[in-house]
Amino acid sequence: MKTRYSYGGDEHIYVEMDEEMSLDAFFKSLSMSNAVREADIPGVTEICPANASFQVRFDPDVTPPEEMLNRVKELEHKAETAEKRMTTRIVEVPVYYQDPWTHETVMRFRERHQDPSGTDLDYGARINGYDSVEAFIEAHHAAPWFVSMVGFVSGLPFLYQLVERDKQIEVPKYLRPRTDTPKQTVGYGGCFTAIYSVRGAGGYQMFGITPMTIYDPRQETSYLKDFLVFFKPGDIVKFEPIDREAYDRVLAGVEAGTWQPRIAEVEFDLDAFKADMEGTNAKLMEALNGA
């Protein structure tokens, strides 16, 4: 797909790299949004990156819309030739799958679901061809995930699994959104996992919950003193399944300020990943396990 440019009212330009998510589209979007930032174009007030697109907010009284559009377009070649490589971090996120809190919510909203007779995990396992919920959960946490954007609500990450296309889990959203989702629910919609940073409405299938705080507007959490949002685009995540005892222990540590997520700095090269996905993931896990 050719990059598509469009206006969003008088103060926004929307740039779409592709109609579907891919790591190639993400890297091009990230490179181009970074190029816009580095160009320091007069009038630009905000740049919002997404999965395979980004949006620029600007002051049309400083730089007229047509001129701004041309300035942004001029940066596309720089993004296309940029190295698809980054220094980032891999983070271990504990997940209590089949927890009682998301299960209660799942059962409360069955009439809004494609299959009211089971749970979200039952449904996800069945339509993806898994013999059991346990095998489906294993597939969800076995390989790392890539944070492609943060949004919807403050601090909510969207994650794309680092596996071959034919191994991607795909699950549709609810037929009608719920009016309630527990805070820190690990959900799934389309090909994306999301972690609900706050309690509220939602339409993603619910698989579990993490005791790890990922958004703290008061910045009281020990590992969120520098910034109220934990995740950023480009982060890599490895989900670690835990039981109720471990969940309670981690939650108590987060609340007491004594627990820290396991994190390692890593290099991620998209071309190397596409050439050897299993080998790249093994190196990522080696770095995390050594942290």
pLDDT in tens, 6-34: 999 999 999 999 888 889 999 999 889 98
Radius of gyration of the chain (CA): 20
Q: What is the pLDDT of residue 228?
A: 97
Which structural domain, as residue segments, surrounds residue 62?
4-82
pLDDT classification of 77: cutoffs 50, 70, 90 = confident
Confidence of residue 140 (pLDDT cuts 50, 70, 90): very high
Same domain, yes or no: 222 and 284: yes
**Are 220 and 141 members of one domain?**
yes
CATH number of the domain bearing residue 45: 3.30.1360.40
> Do 48 and 124 lie in a common domain?
no
- My answer on whether 172 and 231 are in the same domain is yes
Task: Give yes or no: residues 23 and 146 share one domain.
Answer: no
CB 245 within 8 A of CB 96: no
Share of the chain above pLDDT 90, in %: 89
Give the domain-ending residue among 27, 57, 82: 82
Q: Compare 119 and 2 and report the one with higher pLDDT.
A: 119
As a whole number, mean pLDDT of residues 35-54 equals 93
User: Is 167 in the same domain as 114?
Assistant: yes
The mean predicted confidence, pLDDT, of the chain is 96
Q: How many domains does the chain have?
A: 2
- Give me the pLDDT at residue 62, please: 97
d(CA 104, CA 94): 20
Same domain, 279 and 236: yes
Q: Which of 31, 58, 82 is the last residue before a domain boundary?
A: 82
**Mean pLDDT computed over 122-134:** 98
What is the end-to-end Cα distance of the chain in Å, rounded? 40
Distance CA 150, CA 229 (A): 9
**What confidence tier does 131 reach under pLDDT thresholds 50, 70, 90?**
very high
pLDDT of residue 190: 95
User: For 83-108, what is the mean pLDDT?
Assistant: 97
One domain, residues 209 and 270: yes
Residue 242 and residue 103 in one domain: yes
Say if residue 31 is exposed, middle or buried (CB neighbours under 10 Å; 0-12, 13-18, 19+). buried
pLDDT digit string (tens) for 249-280?
999 999 999 999 999 999 999 999 999 999 99
pLDDT at residue 19 in the model: 83
Instruction: Verify that 228 and 278 share a domain, yes or no.
Output: yes
Contact predicate 205/118, CB 8 Å: no
Instruction: Answer whether residue 1 shows pLDDT above 80.
Output: no
Q: Are residues 103 and 60 in the same domain?
A: no
CATH number at residue 200: 2.40.100.10
CA 270 to chain centre: 17
pLDDT band at 95 (very low <50, low <70, confident <90, very high): very high
Query: Are residue 95 and residue 216 in the same domain, yes or no?
Result: yes
Of 82, 111, 126, the residue that ends a domain is 82
Lowest-confidence segment of 27-36, 101-110, 239-248 by average pLDDT = 27-36
Average pLDDT over every residue of 89-102: 99
pLDDT number for residue 78: 82
Q: pTM to 2 decimals?
A: 0.92
